């Protein structure tokens, strides 16, 4: 039997994913949080995981370097990748929001938005019929309105703690996101019975977990 390869976004999604895989009997004996290894395998179940940067998961899957991937919906949308989006894994829940200082006026002319997510940002403001200038940053986006780089930010928030600590408020909600299982379209066809089984198992674990409110 051939290996099924899964790319997972490094960071908070890894542990959740490994928990779900464990629940369907897939184990990676040499995996522990501190490990610097990037590839782990379950030689019995023929499953391999590779840990990659969140924004690269979609690329691995789209180009067929891995059959499947676990990725936040935020990165998936930004990537614009041509893949199947087969399971809402339920974990990694957070919200896309517009945030800024309390006094920010959203309707202002020549509005400047700093974000890691230019696609989501443009889509949101276009739908509102507002033209904005987007500044693409790679991190610490909260800083932008504080130093006068932008009027507000578009970012994902989980608890709102970072916003609060930096004196920012949520000005508008965009949408909720969570982690997704994605599949390469060709693998989905050429290994369909294996991938189908895998998806069904994952889906049933997710359904059970959903009941207790992950």
Partner 1 sequence: MMQKLTQFVPKGVTGMEPSEFEVKEEVLSRIKQLFKKKGFHQVQTPIFEYYDLFNEIKGTIDKDQMIKLIDTDGKILVLRPDATIPIARMVAEARETKDGKPVQKYSYVTSIFRMNNDPQNIQSREFTQAGIEWFGSDGVQADAEIITLAILSLIEAGVDAFTIDIGKANFYKKLIEQIELAEHEIQFIQRLIENKNFLELESYVQELMIPAPYKEALAAIPTLYGEPEKVFARANQVAVNDEMKMEIEHLEKVVRELEAAGFGNFLTVDLGLINHLNYYSGIVFHGYIAGYGQPVLLGGRYDGLTKQFGYDTKAIGFAIYADHLITALKAQEGGTRSWNI
* 115: DSSP letter: E
86 sits near partner 1 (criterion: CB under 8 A): yes
Token duo for residue 127: 């739908």
62 sits near partner 1 (criterion: CB under 8 A): yes
Interacting positions 2-31 with partner 1 (CB under 8 A): 3, 5
Q: Least distance to partner 1 from the beta carbon of 79, Å?
A: 11
38 sits near partner 1 (criterion: CB under 8 A): no
Among 35, 123, 190, 200, interactor with partner 1 by CB under 8 A: 190
87 sits near partner 1 (criterion: CB under 8 A): yes
Among 84, 96, 117, 124, interactor with partner 1 by CB under 8 A: 84
Token duo for residue 146: 């504080």
39 sits near partner 1 (criterion: CB under 8 A): yes
Q: Least distance to partner 1 from the beta carbon of 140, Å?
A: 28
Alpha helices in 40-138, H assignment, sequence order: 57-62, 73-79, 118-127
Question: Can you tell me whether residue 155 is helix, strand or coil?
Answer: strand
**Whole-number Å distance between alpha carbons of 123 and 132:** 11
187 sits near partner 1 (criterion: CB under 8 A): yes
Q: Decide whether 64 or 160 has the Cβ nearer to partner 1.
A: 64
Alpha helices in the chain, H assignment, sequence order: 12-23, 57-62, 73-79, 118-127, 143-146, 161-165, 185-190, 192-212
Asked if 42 and 51 touch (Cβ cutoff 8 Å), the reply is no
Q: Decide whether 26 or 177 has the Cβ nearer to partner 1.
A: 177
Interface residues with partner 1 (CB under 8 A)?
3, 5, 39, 62-65, 83-88, 183-193, 196
């Amino acid at each position: 039997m051939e290996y099924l390869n899964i790319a997972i976004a490094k960071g908070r999604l890894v542990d959740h994913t490994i928990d779900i895989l464990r629940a369907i009997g897939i184990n990676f004996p040499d995996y522990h949080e501190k490990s610097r290894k990037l590839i782990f395998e379950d030689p019995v179940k023929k499953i391999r995981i590779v840990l990659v940067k969140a924004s690269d998961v979609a690329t691995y899957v789209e180009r067929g370097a891995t059959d499947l991937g676990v990725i936040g919906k935020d990165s998936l949308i930004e990537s614009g990748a041509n893949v199947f989006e087969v399971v809402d894994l339920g974990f990694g829940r957070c919200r896309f929001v517009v945030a800024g200082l309390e006094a920010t006026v959203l309707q202002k002319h020549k509005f400047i938005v700093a974000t890691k997510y230019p696609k989501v940002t443009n889509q949101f403001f276009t739908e509102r019929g507002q033209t904005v200038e987007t500044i693409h940053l790679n991190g610490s986006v909260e800083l932008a309105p504080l130093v006068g780089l932008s009027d507000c930010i578009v970012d994902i928030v989980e608890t709102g703690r970072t916003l609060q600590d930096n004196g920012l408020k949520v000005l508008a909600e965009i949408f909720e996101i969570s982690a997704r299982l994605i599949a390469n379209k060709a693998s989905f066809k050429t290994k369909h019975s294996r991938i189908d089984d895998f998806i069904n198992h994952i889906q049933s674990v997710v359904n059970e977990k959903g009941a207790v409110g992950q």
